[in-house]
Amino acid sequence: MNRFDYIRPTTIPEAVAAASAPGAAYLAAGTNLVDLMKGGIARPSRLVDVGRLPGLSAIEHLPDGGVRIGALVRNADLAYDPGFARRFPAVAEALLSGASAQLRNAATVGGNLLQRTRCAYFHDVASACNKREPGAGCDARGGENRLHAVLGWSEGCIATHPSDFCVPLAAFNAIVEVAGATGHRDIPLEEFHLLPGETPERETLLAPGELILALRLPGTEAAFAAHARYLKVRERTSYAFAVVSAAAGLRLDGGRIAEARLALGGVALKPWRARAAEAALVGATPDEAAFRLAAEAALEAARPSGDNAFKIELARRILVRALTLAAAGTPARMPALPASPFAIGA
């Protein structure tokens, strides 16, 4: 591990000033960053520890029915908050499907948004990776790539974003509150993560030194609580990242779909909001035929980036399954295996 300075600011302006220096990185729980440092993948010259900053650890239930979640709230604390789980059950289900119980007890929601890809070539410092070293190339393009992107990828990078949590956040119009040298701003979660294009090393809209303060889920999105699910297909049921996942929410009126919310995970370098599929569902009867048409719309632009054409059909099927589960209604209790196709009743 390289030598680095360690700073523990006591205020948000101090943190932003310290992290604005070249080579600086924020440290919260460190469940991703410390591993990257140990492997020589991340080599910050300064760590700015924000784990004890005041005012970032609260879950606030807002008057409009929404919720504001401080960036330092632990994943497990949010998932098990009764009011939150009742209003946003698909988000709670996604949280409980990610990582292990030990990691969920430590990891923060702000850190979850910033976790790096699990592409093996990114994690292997002997491999060429444009994300780790711009201009180096992408060994994944001709390597083992069955789990890589089928949407939004470029010749420079075919990695996927690993988060479960971010998929329903994108579907349900979450907002990221950030603070930086020029003040505070709000960023829609759907726009927060960037596709690789020609600059795969740039992963989010954050400017140098900008700090995530909180996430907000609008009260309007709680209207989907009665018909909302998250479904995740992984290579093993415990402690594995998604091969493909889907978040689905429906608002039904008179036996038809009045509104829909859909997003896919494991298919791109960002959570993939399926807006064309949402539009296709409005006014439709909630049945398999409508769901299949929506799935076709969601994956219309998909193309293999390697030996992964199967992911396109898998994503269609998972989206149909997630919509079917959502239409049947949110279960009164969280499944014993959250987000798993093997859960009873899934």
Domains of the chain with CATH codes: 1-51 (3.30.43.10), 226-328 (3.30.390.50)
Per DSSP (E only), the strands in 194-298 are: 211-217, 228-234, 242-253, 256-265, 272-273
Overall average pLDDT of the 231-246 stretch: 94
| Percent of residues, the chain, with pLDDT higher than 90 | 97
Overall average pLDDT of the 240-260 stretch: 98
* Residue found by looking up tokens 């299949």 in the block: 292
- How far apart (Å, rounded) are the C-alpha atoms in residues 211 and 344? 40
pLDDT band at 101 (very low <50, low <70, confident <90, very high): very high
Q: What is the residue-averaged pLDDT of the chain? A: 97
DSSP code at position 18: H
* pLDDT tens, residue by residue, 105-152: 999 999 999 999 999 999 999 999 999 999 999 999 999 999 999 999
* pLDDT tens, residue by residue, 141-165: 999 999 999 999 999 999 999 999 9
pTM, rounded to two decimals: 0.97
Backbone angles phi, psi at 83, to 5 degrees: -65, -40
Q: Residue 170: helix, strand or coil by DSSP?
A: helix
For the chain, the straight-line distance linking the first and the last C-alpha, in angstroms and rounded, comes to: 44
* pLDDT tens, residue by residue, 163-206: 999 999 999 999 999 999 999 999 999 999 999 999 999 999 99
* pLDDT tens, residue by residue, 305-346: 999 999 999 999 999 999 999 999 999 999 999 999 988 666
Residue 27's DSSP bridge partners are: 49
Overall average pLDDT of the 12-35 stretch: 97
To the nearest 10°, report the CA torsion of 308, 313, 318, 321: -170
Give residue 303's pLDDT: 98
Give residue 346's pLDDT: 63
- How far apart (Å, rounded) are the C-alpha atoms in residues 155 and 303? 13
The tokens of 311 are what?
């992911």
Of residues 50, 42, 76, the one with CA closest to residue 214: 50
Give residue 239's pLDDT: 87
